[in-house]
Structure 1
Amino acid sequence: MPSSPQAASSAILERDGRFLLIRRMNPPSADLFAFPGGRAEPGETPDETALREFFEETGVTARNPVLFATYDLMSEKEGGSHFFLSVFRVEADADTEVVAADDAADPGWYTIEEIRSLPVPPSVLECAERLAVEIKAGY
């Protein structure tokens, strides 16, 4: 019987057409580049999870989370992980320094062209592609 999914959230911070990604150090997405995020703690709302995880992994205090996408992610492996992922757009002060922490490494700002050539989960590429179109269109 399939297990009920674990709640997880991630946060997208965009500056000048570049997206903040970190390299995951731990499973389920070890060595993939992704938006900062992670599992919900008991009693947290999805937006609270996104802001907490973003801070834990980057040292940046984000604000104004706006739900952008949701994903029901099932691991291919037998007995693998099952997550319900909420992805938020967030804002942060432009002069804030990003520092990798927790299970994150190598934070960087990437264009959509660069993201297409990085090892990223499909959900990250899909969100970045959608956002790049919206940014170009002036949303």
Structure 2
Amino acid sequence: MDFLTNTSSASDIQKHLEACDKNFLHELTRKTNIELYSFKIKNFALCIEAWNSEQLVGLLAIYCNKLEYAFITNMSVLPEWQGKGISFHLMNNCIQHKNIQESKLIILQVKKTNFKAINFYKKFNFEKEKEDNTHLIMRLKLG
């Protein structure tokens, strides 16, 4: 397994997200156009990636506003690779990345019913910042 940064193409990201679609709590294709979202991630996000040979098996995409905060827009691992510690490595590499370290906070949004993801983020000391009827906003203070 190779953990790399910003090596994936928009096409790699699209294939990965399409393969993960059924595993999202609410299918991604119901919320967004995956082709356009992949292009946006490639061009505007920092991509922390897990590769097995030429297959993108894990992706953490985060938008960076270096002075204030960084926002995680995607965290996904192919279904057949889950439970192997890939998410842990992606998140750890993200938090340690120099571009992220320049931010004051990492912020993310997660469905309130996605207990697996919420518990995962809590392991990295993310805390609930606010919530509405369906989502939590979680944050991790840096520095």
TM-score, with normalisation over the residues of structure 2?
Answer: 0.28
Of structures 1 and 2, the one with the larger relative CO (CA 8 A, separation 6+) is 1
